[in-house]
């Protein structure tokens, strides 16, 4: 029970941070979603989170997320770690969202396997505007259009629905969130539709929200340190 209360307290603190930051910059707090990053944490921790109303989680590894998905049929999962081409099928099977599409070859394979499996999934394009600074994956600005072309495969079956862009800016780079916001705006103008922006974590979610992030991905501030 104590552990559950601890999660509830942490959840309320994070929600308060989101609300106060959003209100301070004139945004509706409900316009910022919270994605609980549960990588490396045991299934018991996710069960406690679910008792607090959190049912959507982010995992970095396909195998770990698949295992938790089987144990927690009431939960849904987003893949927030790099996706290898040979893990595409289980990724599509066990994850509702794929947040790290960063090359056209991966996008093409996802589309083909999704067609074969007769499933539809939400995808995000992971962006890296900073080259070697992040080393966390992501495509360069010039890599977006080839990925879009691969996602928009013949037949328009909408197997893969683009939600927006995901980014992991270099820690401490104060200009990074604004750069991503401008990047998103540019592509919204090009495509003529709304694109969501997922950026900001436990230590910097306020900066991300002020820049316009629609989703913050929080692990440590919710689940505590990993051991």
User: Do the beta carbons of residue 68 and residue 57 sit within 8 Å?
Assistant: yes
138-162: burial string, b at 16+ Cβ within 10 Å, e else: bbeeebbeebbebbebeeeeebbeb
Domain span at residue 84 reads: 2-223
Look at residue 6 in the predicted model and tell me its pLDDT. 87
How confident is residue 135, by pLDDT bands cut at 50, 70 and 90?
low
How many independent structural domains does the chain possess?
Answer: 1
| CATH code of 108's domain | 3.20.20.10
Residues facing residue 98 across a β-bridge: 79, 123
The reported pTM is 0.92
How confident is residue 5, by pLDDT bands cut at 50, 70 and 90?
low
Task: Summarize the confidence of residues 133-139 as an average pLDDT.
Answer: 70
How confident is residue 132, by pLDDT bands cut at 50, 70 and 90?
low
Does position 73 have pLDDT exceeding 50, yes or no? Answer: yes
């Amino acid at each position: 029970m104590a552990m559950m209360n601890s999660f509830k307290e942490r959840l309320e603190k994070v929600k308060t941070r989101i609300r106060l930051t959003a209100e301070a910059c004139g945004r509706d707090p409900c316009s910022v979603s919270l994605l609980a990053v549960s990588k490396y944490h045991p299934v018991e921790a996710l069960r406690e989170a679910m008792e607090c109303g959190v049912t959507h989680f982010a995992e970095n590894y396909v195998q770990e997320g698949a295992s938790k998905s089987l144990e927690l049929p009431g939960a849904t999962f987003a893949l927030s770690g790099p996706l290898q081409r040979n893990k595409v099928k289980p990724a599509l099977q066990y994850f509702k969202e794929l947040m790290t599409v960063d090359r056209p070859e991966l996008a093409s394979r996802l589309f083909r396997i999704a067609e074969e499996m007769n499933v539809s999934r939400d995808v995000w394009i992971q962006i890296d505007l900073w080259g070697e600074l992040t080393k966390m994956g992501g495509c360069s600005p010039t890599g977006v259009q080839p990925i879009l072309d691969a996602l928009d495969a013949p037949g328009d079956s909408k197997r893969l629905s683009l939600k927006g862009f995901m980014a992991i800016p270099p820690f401490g780079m104060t200009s990074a969130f604004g750069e991503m916001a401008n990047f998103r705006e540019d592509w919204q103008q090009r495509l003529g539709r709304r694109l969501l922006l997922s950026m900001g974590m436990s230590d910097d979610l306020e900066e991300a929200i002020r820049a316009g992030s629609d989703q913050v991905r929080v692990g440590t501030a919710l689940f505590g340190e990993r051991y």
